[in-house]
Structure 1
Amino acid sequence: MAVKASDISAESPRARTQRRNDLLFRGATLFFALLVLTLLGGVIISLIHGALPALKAFGFGFVTTEIWNPVTEKFGALAPIYGTLVTSAIAMLVGVPVSFGIAIFLTELCPAWAKRPIGIAVELLAGIPSIIYGIWGLFVFAPFLQRTVQPFLINTLGTIPGIGAWFKGPPYGIGVLTAGLILAIMILPFITSITRDVFETMPAMLRESAYGLGATTWEVVRDITIPYTRVGLVGGVMLGLGRALGETMAVTFVIGNSHRIASSLLAPGTTISAAIANEFTEAVGDTYTSSLIALGLVLFVITFIVLSLAKLMLVRMNRKAGT
């Protein structure tokens, strides 16, 4: 069938419009992508510039020294670094298994009538402001731990050689363990929601085929669901870890804000974000302010290392799977 010249001329403006729109769309998306990199670069430069006086004054000893004395202007980041890593580790140890358990129940075992209410309840936890978690932790959760859980831990695990040092001392209520448990509650809805969504993306044929071969629910989850969705699961865990590393107000309320490293998890401590939130408005002098900014730079580096290791782990997992 011959194409008329009028048809070609009629379609040409439309084709030109489509090409122009494609170019505009590509340019806009490229601009937004570069904007993110620019903002990230600006944050890094600002942190380095603000932290330079402290880094010049204390050198590498800033991250290996525990002392934090604004009066003598001697500052070290070791105690906040320790508190940040330990509270985040407690949060992940408690929060990840619980989140996975909730997601598995919602996708594999939950009755249809209960799936929606439970899912909404979990997602509502993500909408609670962190300061509310902090107030609840200080006035409700910490006294509960002080009266019941911490004395039990002291009288049982505290008497075991080796790990007993982690659970010795008076039951303050507030402390590193309390902060870690509050963080576990806070990251739970994020990991649960992502894990549930990832589980639901698995083709129903794979699950039904496994059940057809006689696999139990546990075997389906262990051998089919988790291997198939491993990349998404790691992404959800890393999102929760990022929230735990950077959480400020809730931790500030319940950790005790003590710049020292104690062997006991029941003792007060501090984190990088809590130290910055507590002291930045009261910082007097360039060295004090610069030290707090240097703490922010250290937290940025820790987060970058954690995310890089997660990405490396994903690459190795995909390589093992042959993808």
Structure 2
Amino acid sequence: MTASALEATENSQILPTDRSRALGRLKFADSGFRLMTVASALLVLALLLGVAVSLFIGAWPAFQHFGLDFFVSDAWSPPKERFGAAAAIYGTLVTSIIAMVIGVPVGLGIAVFLTELCPPILRRPIGIAIELLAGIPSIIYGIWGVYYLKPVMQAYIQPFIIATFGRIPGLGYLFAGPPLGYGVLTAGLVLAVMILPFVTAISRDVFDTVPVVLKEAAYGVGATTFEVVGNIVIPYTRVGVVGGVMLALGRALGETMAVTFVIGNATKISTSILAQGTTISAMIANQFADADPGLFTSSLLALGFILFIITFIVLALARWMLSALEVKAGR
């Protein structure tokens, strides 16, 4: 038997065994990887459920004692043990709406400028500057709001708003009151600056995914930049844009320290956006350290549970909207 024939015989005897061992190792590694990913996903669900259950257990005494009045009353008097979440819920929703009304159009405008109009030499510096806004701690935004934005609001912006819109029938109640500087509008402006990098960064990234050939074809038939953005870029990337907007909304709903600094922390509902108010996060941050065990602590935990539910509903609606848009785009 020649040497080559002998080597072939040995390989034929060893190769099946080595192959089975290699396949066994790969199968074991694949099964282990699958188990790790499943365990990680279940861990997230368990943590989420644990947070919800713990908040609900702590909040149950307040829900049991006040009933539905807890959701519709704006009374908040720890000495009298009278608590209501309406003022905090109202302030949370209104400040978030103001932030979205201001921040989303500006963020989308910046994203369009960076992807369609900005000179290449300025595109990277402006993009980095926008992204750096996301890394600034929220307390820094609060300090900026107190020492810089609040005086400007009190001296210039709020008096102008009162003089311009305060006398319009049907809208005057939204801009009533003295120019204090602090208030719901000021908090909304701070939140708008805070959500700006989220809207801008995500929108810019999804705008960059639009095929160049689509835009060139539109320009080739005489479309303007406005028409290209409105009819091609935004419709093509609407799923990603909606996702970025909802991410920004989640940030606005849960923001604490920056809002606490500038909203005024008044536990009353006012129809004027210039008046002082509060949010769920701000109320918890201000009062949890001094809360006595009992209804006071339970009411604060109830506020936390309500914020948890609001955030969950918003994210669920966002997921539903994204799914609907994906189905529509697929059709």
| Common fold by TM > 0.5 | yes
Are 1:148 and 2:147 an aligned pair?
no
**TM-score normalized with structure 1 length:** 0.97
Larger deviation, residues 183-192 vs 201-210: 201-210
CA distance in 2, matches of 1:223, 1:15: 52
Mind listing any 5+ residue stretches in structure 1 that lack a counterpart?
none
Q: After superposition, what is the alpha-carbon deviation per residue over 1:136-161, rounded to whole angstroms, capped at 9, x for unaligned?
A: 10111000110000000000011111
- Which of 308, 319, 323 does residue 327 from structure 2 map onto? 319
Alignment of 1:24-35 (within 5 A): 24-35=32-43
2:280–2:303 Cα contact (<8 Å) kept: yes
Instruction: Provide the identity percentage.
Output: 61
- Which of 251, 257, 281 does residue 273 from structure 1 map onto? 281
2:71–2:84 Cα contact (<8 Å) kept: yes
CA distance in 1, matches of 2:328, 2:43: 35
Mind listing any 5+ residue stretches in structure 2 that lack a counterpart?
1-10
Paired position in structure 1 for 2:168: 160
Runs (4 or more) in structure 1 with deviation over 6 Å come to none
CA distance in 2, matches of 1:138, 1:6: 77
CA distance in 2, matches of 1:10, 1:303: 54
What is the number of equivalent residue pairs in this alignment?
Answer: 322
CA distance in 1, matches of 2:320, 2:43: 25
- Which of 82, 90, 98 does residue 90 from structure 1 map onto? 98
Letter in 1 for 2:171: I
Q: After superposition, what is the alpha-carbon deviation per residue over 1:183-216, rounded to whole angstroms, capped at 9, x for unaligned?
A: 0000001111111111112222222222223221
CA distance in 1, matches of 2:180, 2:205: 39
Superposed CA RMSD: 1.4
- Which of 54, 57, 60 does residue 62 from structure 2 map onto? 54
- Which of 64, 73, 78 does residue 70 from structure 1 map onto? 78
Letter in 1 for 2:237: T
2:243–2:322 Cα contact (<8 Å) kept: no
Paired position in structure 1 for 2:317: 309
Letter in 2 for 1:198: V
Paired position in structure 2 for 1:235: 243
CA distance in 1, matches of 2:292, 2:260: 21
Letter in 2 for 1:228: Y
Greater gyration radius:
2
Alignment of 1:127-142 (within 5 A): 127-142=135-150
CA distance in 1, matches of 2:213, 2:54: 52
Letter in 2 for 1:14: A
2:91–2:277 Cα contact (<8 Å) kept: yes
CA distance in 2, matches of 1:316, 1:196: 22
Paired position in structure 1 for 2:26: 18
Are 1:299 and 2:316 an aligned pair?
no
Q: After superposition, what is the alpha-carbon deviation per residue over 1:108-133, rounded to whole angstroms, capped at 9, x for unaligned?
A: 11111000100010011111100010
**1:11 CA drift (Å):** 2.2
**1:227 CA drift (Å):** 1.0
SS class of match (2:182): coil
